[in-house]
Amino acid sequence: MIKASIIGATGYVGIELIRLLQKHPRVELNELVSNSRAGSKLIDVYPQFRGSQVADYYLKDLSEFEVKDNDIIFTALPHGVSQNIVAELFDQGVKIIDLSGDFRYHDTDLYTEWYGIEHNFSELACKAVYGLSEFNRSAIKKASLVANPGCYVTASLLALLPLVNFSKADLSSIIIDAKSGVSGAGKSLKQDLLFTESYNTMKAYSPGTHRHSSEIEYILNRFLEQSYFQSEFGSEFLALHNFNSANNQKATVLFTPHLVPVKRGIFATIYLKLNAESSKEELTELYNSFYETEKFIQLIPDSLPELKYVAGSNYVQLGFRYNKRTDQVIILSALDNMLKGAAGQAVQNMNIMFNLAEETGLEATALFP
Ligand SMILES: NC(=O)C1=CN([C@@H]2O[C@H](COP(=O)(O)OP(=O)(O)OC[C@H]3O[C@@H](n4cnc5c(N)ncnc54)[C@H](OP(=O)(O)O)[C@@H]3O)[C@@H](O)[C@H]2O)C=CC1
Ligand SMILES: CC(=O)N[C@@H](CCC(=O)OP(=O)(O)O)C(=O)O
């Protein structure tokens, strides 16, 4: 059995990890670490775990936590807080999957520019492997530290990465219009997340300036730069997708997130200009070449994604429309921010790291209706 602990177990992502891992056939949950609820019984904080395998667990303080009893540790902490804790754990030689933004950039100056926080562990950041499961398996398999991608970013990259390898795609002005359910903001108390303020309305925030613009752009450009691509993203991928090394473009992304009154879900609508005529058939073939064999990616060129078909599951629905009149492609991507956007993808990455079937513990379909 794989012994796993969660630090930040009481956050929204933390409890989603507990929900998945306590049912995972190859995992034994070890410690659940909390900041403000240490000493409480888990079911006194979250009664939904009554009667489950973790019903008798107590939440622990980080100071009582023993690294040595673990094969893997999940950190589900706010960015800025995570980097110090992860660095300390890493020095003790345990595998880690970090769900915050702290280790998603090898370029820590870029992190500081967008997060407004100093990064104290540049060397460690360069060792972190980006955990976009479908695109980075060979590196994830060998990783000691996986930086799990963000929810908006996972929805956007899965929609866009096949186009990085498409000579007709103009990557210079990608527009991403994305909506998030309220759980995307975590459980902390903020006035605009109150039911009375977030229900029956919709709002944009940080148009064009949100930190996830940079994560999307950064990873797209790492794919475009062959040197990075070969070192982390694996030559196996290059060969598989006949990657076009002549693509000298730089990707630029304009990203606007919105808050919508649903509990879970990310829905991204992406607009990309083409520099030559294409067709539905050509685009279907391109996307199929990436996703035909992918368990969690449902490519639906003949219908349209919807949150209710993915919420509660680790699945992603991807649709697209070729618009001949404007020579543009509209790509639509829907996933559950707590699952494929966070805890689900983290468990998928753990499965890869421990040579398990990738879907182990993740096969539930969406909660519908
Ligand atoms: N929500 C989402 O959809 C997604 C979130 N993420 C990322 O995952 C991480 C967790 O997010 P989420 O669960 O939503 O956040 P929450 O705010 O719901 O939970 C945060 C967790 O971190 C703990 N914590 C907060 N401050 C400290 C501290 N100073 N020291 C130790 N522990 C602390 C909290 O502990 P306690 O409550 O016990 O005090 C809590 O368990 C974040 O980095 C977020 O960006 C990534 C993708 C999607
Ligand atoms: C609705 C909402 O507030 N969403 C959060 C996304 C949080 C998140 O998931 O952050 P990471 O993906 O970086 O970990 C935000 O916009 O900051």
| pLDDT of res. 227 | 46
H helices of the chain, in order, are 12-21, 42-45, 81-90, 108-115, 122-127, 137-142, 151-164, 195-198, 211-224, 226-228, 235-240, 280-291, 344-353
Q: How far apart are CA 282 and CA 352, in angstroms?
A: 31
Nearest-atom index, ligand 1, CA of 181: 3
Query: What's the whole-model pTM score?
Result: 0.96
Q: By three-state DSSP, how is residue 369 classified?
A: coil
Contacts of 123 (CB under 8 A, 6+ apart): none
Which residues have a Cβ under 8 Å from the Cβ of 32 and sit 6 or more positions away?
A: 5, 6, 9, 10, 14, 18, 42, 54, 57, 58, 59, 60
The atom of ligand 2 lying closest to the CA of 181 is: 1
99 CB near ligand 1 (under 6 Å): yes
Tokens standing for 325? 């009149």
pLDDT (0 to 100) of residue 228: 47
**Tens-level pLDDT at each residue, the chain (369 residues):** 999 999 999 999 999 999 999 999 999 999 999 999 999 999 999 999 999 999 999 999 999 999 988 999 999 999 999 999 999 999 998 999 999 999 999 999 999 999 999 999 999 999 999 999 998 888 899 999 999 999 999 999 999 999 987 889 999 999 999 999 999 999 999 999 999 999 999 999 999 999 999 999 999 988 887 544 455 555 556 555 655 555 678 899 999 999 999 999 999 999 999 999 999 999 999 999 889 999 999 999 999 999 999 999 999 999 999 999 999 999 999 999 999 999 999 999 999 999 999 999 999 999 999
Name all domains of the chain by residue range, CATH numbers in brackets. 2-149+341-353 (3.40.50.720), 152-337 (3.30.360.10)
39: left (phi over 0), alpha (psi -120 to 50) or beta: left
Mutating to test ligand 2, I would choose from 205, 212, 262, 335 the residue with most ligand atoms within 8 A of its C-beta, which is 212
Ligand nearest to the CA of 215: 2
CB distance 179 to 260 below 8 Å: yes
Does residue 151 have an active-site annotation? yes
Structural tokens at position 87:
């660095």
Ligand 2 within 6 A of CB of 174: no
Q: Which atom of ligand 2 is nearest to the CA of 100?
A: 14
CB atoms within 10 A of CB 243: 19
Per the residue annotation, which of 128, 151, 262, 311 is the catalytic one?
151
Ligand 2 center–CA 21 separation, angstroms: 23
Q: What is the pLDDT of residue 222?
A: 84
Ligand 2 contact via 62 beta carbon (within 6 Å): no
What integer pLDDT is reported at residue 242 of this predicted model?
59
CB neighbours of 83 closer than 8 A, spacing ≥ 6? 100, 102, 103, 119, 120, 121
Q: Which atom of ligand 1 is nearest to the CA of 78?
A: 43
ipTM of the complex in this document: 0.98
Chain centroid, CA 22 distance in Å = 21
- Site to substitute for ligand 1 among 99, 182, 266, 339, most atoms within 8 A of C-beta: 99
Whether ligand 2 lies within 6 angstroms of the CB of 149 is answered as no
What residue's CA is closest to ligand 1, atom 45? 100
257 lines ligand 2 (CB under 6 A): yes
The pLDDT, as a whole number, for residue 239 is: 57
Residues in the chain: 369
Q: Which amino acid is at 68?
A: K
Q: What's residue 244's pLDDT? A: 56
**CA of residue 100 to ligand 2 center, whole Å:** 9
Question: Rounded to the nearest whole angstrom, what is the distance from the C-alpha of residue 133 to the centroid of ligand 2?
Answer: 19
Q: How far does the centroid of ligand 1 lie from the alpha carbon of residue 12, in Å? A: 7
Our answer on whether the CB atom of 10 is closer than 6 Å to any ligand 1 atom is: yes
